[in-house]
Every structure is written in structure tokens, then in C-alpha cells.
Chain A
Amino acid sequence: MMRYSALSLLGNAFSKNKNWKPAWRNPDPKPHYDVIIIGGGGHGLATAYYLSKVFGVRNVAVLEKGYLGSGNIGRNTTIIRSNYLLQGNNPFYEFSMKLWEGLEQDFNFNAMVSQRGVINLFHSDAQRDAYTRRGNAMRLHGVDADLLGRDQLREKLPFLDYENARFPIMGGLMQKRGGTVRHDAVAWGFARGADQHGVDIIQNCEVTAIDREGDQVTGVQTTRGAIKCNKIGMAVAGNSSHVAGMVDMRLPIESHALQAFVSEGLKPFIDTVVTFGAGHFYVSQSDKGGLVFGGDIEGYNSYAQRGNLACVEHVAEAGMAMIPALSRVRILRSWGGIMDMSMDGTPIMDRTHLGNLYFNGGWCYGGFKATPASGYCFAHLLAKDEPHETATEFRMDRFARGYLLDEKGVGAQANLH
């Protein structure tokens, strides 16, 4: 397999780029694997990558019902950050951030990891107190956090509506190590890396049933035939309830649509990620110049990868309230993805009632930033049958036990997280 480098780029340029090889194979499914991962999105591919590279489990298949990268990994707003408050969340997301920082060298693929900073705006004294607390919690966990006053913020982001009559901007909490990553390249990099370590990535292969014997799973039925295995890992995001239903599991999860938007290309304008504190809106500028932004989920259960016009209007209004200069920017395109919204807004990564079936889901709309750590920790769980030290709180039974991780504090109402 070809290693990408400046030299390989030069060599291929001289041979008129005729000798590039496909980045991964396109194999037919084998009759048996040690581990089958259902779902070839970011988390599934990352799991296969770390499973084969770090934990030495190489007889692995990733089954993807569509084409690689057709789900949420290619539908998000590409933001990475680790500015979490809760004890159970923060170390995990910081682990993810550290993996992002070394990812491109690790899997030899340019994912355009850009630590341009993430700023969360606050608009009241109470919100400043909350963000101060969050910043302190981050620092206690060894994560960088800076509280910016209004004047410091003005220097960085002069175009915000500081004097908004209803929601004046008083400052912001900044994580300098946060930023953006090119999302498609994350899928491709993990796919290529996993493939190099012997993982079979099988596209257009939808799982239609899971075979059981007693309290164990033995394999899956797919649109490309039956495949046997020793273990199954489920990483199917918005389709979690649907796939779990194949083994009679009901989950504390609802599926909701979230839209993302890109504007026409503009000159350099926003060199960081900014989130609105008075509404749900987050924006950054891509290297091509388009503003990449999004807002809230639609509010009703959905399995359709498209959104509603009411939400488009709402997001545009929130954007305008934060940056009035957006009024004449035209939206180029928008798209929707299906989020697996858990009942406390925090993911679930655990064993299930079936001994060798493992579940990874409930990432709500924060799954992208977690991709590397989710893959690493899920691979750890699959290989060693025990959770990684940063993912011990993402238990399936935390709802029944009352140990929720409700970062936002809104209770068991999935469409509010």
C-alpha cells in the first residue's frame, strides 16, 4: 500500500498522476470474521482502525449500508472541541482532542485538522458565571480555557452585534485548541488506515437481521448474504433504535434530523468557530471561503436525511442576531442528517443483554468531535471486554440507576438536548 508523502506526490506528478492506487480495497464479504462492525461511518471506521492497529484484531469487517461517508460523518459542521463540564464527559472529549492532534501523522492522511479556536459567547451575568464554572472545570481536567471580556472579544471578532438590545454580547469562553477538521477526509483516512491493517470495508451491504443462539449473537444477515462472527459492534448513529430492534432492544434514544448549511464563498471573515449563547447557532469559515453553520434539531422524530423550512428560517434568524452582516449572504446549500438523541444528551457505549453484542450510539449531534476517541474506546471495549478508562460513565444502565450525564440539564426530553 502506498504511503502518502511529499515524495509520492512529486513522483506521481512526474508520471502524470496515472499511478495512484485506490485508497482502500472493495472486497466481497468473507464467510466469517472475528468482529463485525455494523455501520461504516466515522465511528465504525475509527473503531475498525484502532481495533486493527492498536489492539491487534485484524479479522474485522465494517458493513456499510450505503457508500462510505454517506451518513453523518459527511453531514456535520466539522467542529472539534473538548469544552465539557461533567466529570464523566470531559476526560473522554479531551482524549479525543489529543487523538485529533496527532491523527494525520498517525493515519498518514491529510484531514486538515485546524485548531483555530472555539468561542462560546455569553450574554448575561448568569451565563458568564456558568461559563466561568465550565472554564474552571475544563482547567481542572487539564484542558485549556480562556474567559474573554467584551474588549478582548471585539479585537478578535469585530463584526458581532455587541449592542444587541435583547442579547448584548458580554464576552466569551474560548478553547484555543478547538477548531475544525475536514470531515470527509476523516472517513477516508480511517477507512484507508483500517484497510491497510487488513480490515474489510464492505459497502452497499445493509444488515437485515442479527442471528442469535441463546444469549449470544452468531452473525448477521445482509443484502450481500449471511456472515458469521464472534463479536458484533453496533455503530449506526441515527439508526440505532432500528438495528437494536433486530434483537428486541428498546433504547433510551430518539432519532431526529439536524441540518447544516454552507454559504457562497466569501473573503476571509471568521478565523475561528463562534457559537451564539442566546440561541442555537454555530459558524466557522471553510478554507474555500464558505460559511459553514447550523442550529438546532427539527424537534420531531425523523429518519429522513432532510430538514424543514421552519428550521432554516430559525437558523438564519439566529445567525442574523449574532452577525448582522450575514443579512446579504446567500445560502448555497443545506443538508440533513439523522441524530441519535439520547435521553440525557450523552452517548452510550456498553455491552448489551447479549454477551457478544456491543453498542455504541446516542451521540446526539456531538458525534463528530468524538470520532477518534469513540473509535478507540469502542475498540478497547470490543477487544478487552471492559471500557476504556475515559469511557466508564457511558453505561447503558445509567438511566435506570439514576446516574445521568445531562450536560445541558434539561431532563429526559430528547428533542431539547
Chain B
Amino acid sequence: MSSLVKCPHCGLRPREEFAIRGEVATPRPKAGADESAWFDHVYLRDNPRGEHREYWHHAGGCRRWLVLSRNTVTHDISDVVDASTLKVGGDA
């Protein structure tokens, strides 16, 4: 993949500045949700061969959580946005 990631706040930055959390999975369930919802959220992944949305943390830069849209085969990054703009975190 490209060794540079375009942070929406900092511009093009080397990949080493980022920590990777992984797939934007099913939204975090409410605290009282049943076990199967939590199991889904904590353990199951789509893990697609192709377009993938994932959390990256710009640990060595602005320290904002970002959501990358990245192709897992070509490694092209089509979009990077601040995670707060997407509201993908769920209810909790």
C-alpha cells in the first residue's frame, strides 16, 4: 500500500504515524443489549476482499480518530474522514 496517508487535518503523513484499530464493525450495542449483539460487535468481521472501512488513529499527529475507505486488494485509499463526522459509533 501507499506509505502515505492523507489525514484530513494534517495532510499527507507517513503510515508509521498511525495506529490501526481495524474494521468499522457493527455499531457498539447498548449496555443492556443481549449477548448475541455483543458477540457480533466484539468478534465478527466482514473482512471483505475489496472496499473496506476501518478506524485509524493518527497517534503521531493530530491524535484524531479517522475512518479510511481502503481497498484491501489494491491498497488504494479512496477517502479519509474524521470519525466524528460519520456518527458510526452506535448508541452507547
Contact = CB atoms under 8 A, between A and B. Distances in A.
Interface residues of B, number: 27
Given A301-B72, A304-B73, A415 B20 contact: yes
Contacts of A415: 20, 22
A343 B23 CA distance: 13
Nearest to B40: A250
Contact of A309 (B3, B35, B45, B72): B3
A17 interface: no
Interface in A385-417: 399-400, 412-415
Contacts, number: 75
Nearest to B75: A304
A209 interface: no
Contacts of A308: 1, 3, 15
Nearest to A244: B47
B3 A301 contact: no
Given A254-B23, A301-B72, A310 B47 contact: no
Interface in A301-318: 301-304, 308-310
B22 A254 contact: yes
B79 interface: no
Nearest to B52: A301
Interface string B5-48: 00000000011100011110000000000011001001111111
B86 to A, nearest CB: 18
B84 interface: no
B70 interface: yes
Contacts of A303: 49, 72-73
B15 A250 contact: no
Contacts of A304: 1, 72-75
Contacts of B36: 400
Interface string A283-301: 0000000000000000111
Specify the main secondary structure of chain B where it touches its partner. mixed
B54 interface: yes
A242 B23 CA distance: 15
Given A300-B1, A301-B22, A301-B52, A343 B72 contact: no
B54 A241 contact: no
Contact of B20 (A242, A250, A251, A299): A299
Contacts of A301: 22-23, 47, 52, 54, 72
A253 B25 CA distance: 12
Given A304-B72, A414-B22, A254 B39 contact: no
B41 to A, nearest CB: 10
Nearest to A250: B44
Given A304-B73, A415-B22, A252 B45 contact: yes
A275 interface: no
A255 interface: yes
A239 interface: yes
Nearest to B44: A250
A13 to B, nearest CB: 47
Interface of B: 1, 3, 14-16, 20-23, 35-36, 39, 42-49, 52, 54, 70, 72-75
* A-B CB proximity, top 8 nearest: A241-B47, A252-B43, A399-B43, A250-B44, A303-B49, A299-B20, A400-B39, A242-B49
